[in-house]
């Protein structure tokens, strides 16, 4: 996809690196935004950015547009993850942490990138949600709520911005390259395919497809999990 520019928040993380590599291999100029970019891979530009900080996000988007020539795709992956806390023990602080790093940051980046996408005649936004919300996974109440809020934003943006040729979709992935052996074994146990996804060839490939002009898909959530949730 020549002349395309993608911003990937959380782009230096486990799955984020795979997404960046996949986009780069497809000819997209990639900018990875993360709190720590030391592990960034596949990005032409790596910028330290706290997505909970509006000023930092605005500076990052402006820098990407200036250095890489605009923005055609936004991939929102950055999100704090609090696990292992029962609903009865969730605090207001827990909820603030998840929502500020998740749906609030996602909306912030969408709003900042919108003028750039519109100026190019359209583009794509791919937000990362989670089976924690669509399935309802115990111990992940705050995270699940935040991820479901992101799916809500995705649908509304698809309806409001479709007229600008901006397609907005969500992905719920099951993939890893460096999770613990226990996590992998649990994920494999419920996978009809007997494996977890690869961040680049499985998740990244879907991001590349959704970012491309041939994806007549808008406002949808794709469960890229190898069928792990097909029974739910």
Q: How many CA atoms lie within 13 A of 143 on its CB side?
A: 20
Give the residue-averaged pLDDT of 66-84: 96
Q: Is 63 a domain residue?
A: yes
Residue 191 phi, psi dihedral angles, 5° rounding: -95, 120
- Is residue 133 included in any domain, yes or no? yes
Residue 119 lies in a domain: yes
Q: Is the pLDDT of residue 84 over 70?
A: yes
> Model's pTM, two decimal places?
0.95
Task: State both tokens at 194.
Answer: 């007997």
Of 143, 157, 196, 224, which is the active-site residue? Answer: 143
Helical H runs in the chain? 14-25, 54-68, 92-101, 103-119, 131, 141-161, 181-189, 205-211
State how many domains the chain has: 1
Contact 130, 187 (CB under 8 A): no
CB of 142 closer than 8 Å to CB of 115: no
Q: What pLDDT sits at residue 188?
A: 78
Q: Is the pLDDT of residue 123 over 80?
A: yes
Domain assignment present for 164 = yes
pLDDT in tens, 183-210: 677 777 777 777 888 999 999 999 999 9
CATH code at position 142:
3.40.50.720
pLDDT at 231 over 80: no
Q: What is the mean pLDDT of residues 95-105?
A: 98
DSSP label at 116? H
Domain for residue 229, yes or no? no
Question: What would the pLDDT profile of 131-152 be if each residue is shown by its tens digit?
Answer: 999 999 999 999 999 999 999 9
Which residues, in sequence order, are CB contacts of 71 under 8 Å at separation 6+? Answer: 5, 6, 7, 61, 64, 65, 113, 116, 117, 120, 123
What does each C-alpha distance from 13 to 91, 153, 168, 173 come to in angstroms? 26, 23, 22, 14
* Boundaries of domain holding 214: 5-224
Count of CA atoms in the C-beta half-sphere (13 A) of 89:
8
Distance from C-alpha of 178 to C-alpha of 54, rounded to nearest angstrom:
30
Residue 232 lies in a domain: no
For the question of residue 143 being annotated catalytic, the response is: yes
Would you state the pLDDT for residue 179? Answer: 60
25-61 per-position pLDDT tens digit: 999 999 999 999 999 999 999 999 999 999 999 999 9
For residue 231, being part of any structural domain is answered with: no
């Amino acid at each position: 996809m020549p002349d395309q520019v993608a911003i990937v928040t959380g782009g230096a993380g486990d799955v984020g690196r795979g997404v960046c590599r996949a986009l780069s291999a497809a000819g997209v100029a990639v900018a990875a935004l993360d709190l720590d970019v030391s592990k960034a891979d596949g990005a032409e530009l790596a910028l330290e950015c706290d997505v909970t900080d509006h000023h930092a996000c605005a500076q990052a988007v402006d820098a990407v547009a200036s250095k890489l020539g605009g923005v055609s795709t936004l991939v929102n992956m950055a999100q704090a993850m609090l696990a292992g806390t029962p609903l009865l023990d969730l605090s207001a602080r827990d909820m603030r942490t998840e929502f500020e790093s998740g749906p609030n940051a996602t909306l912030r980046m969408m709003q900042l990138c919108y003028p750039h996408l519109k100026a190019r005649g359209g583009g794509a936004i791919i937000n990362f949600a989670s089976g924690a919300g669509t399935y309802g996974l115990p111990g992940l109440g705050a995270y699940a709520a935040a991820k479901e809020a992101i799916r809500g934003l995705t649908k509304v943006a698809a309806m409001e911005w479709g007229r600008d040729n901006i397609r907005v979709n969500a992905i719920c992935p099951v993939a890893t390259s460096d999770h613990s052996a226990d996590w992998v074994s649990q994920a494999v146990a419920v996978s009809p395919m007997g494996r977890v996804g690869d961040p680049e060839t499985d998740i990244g490939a879907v991001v590349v497809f959704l970012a491309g002009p041939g994806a007549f898909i808008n406002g949808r959530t794709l469960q890229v999990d190898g069928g792990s949730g097909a029974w739910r």
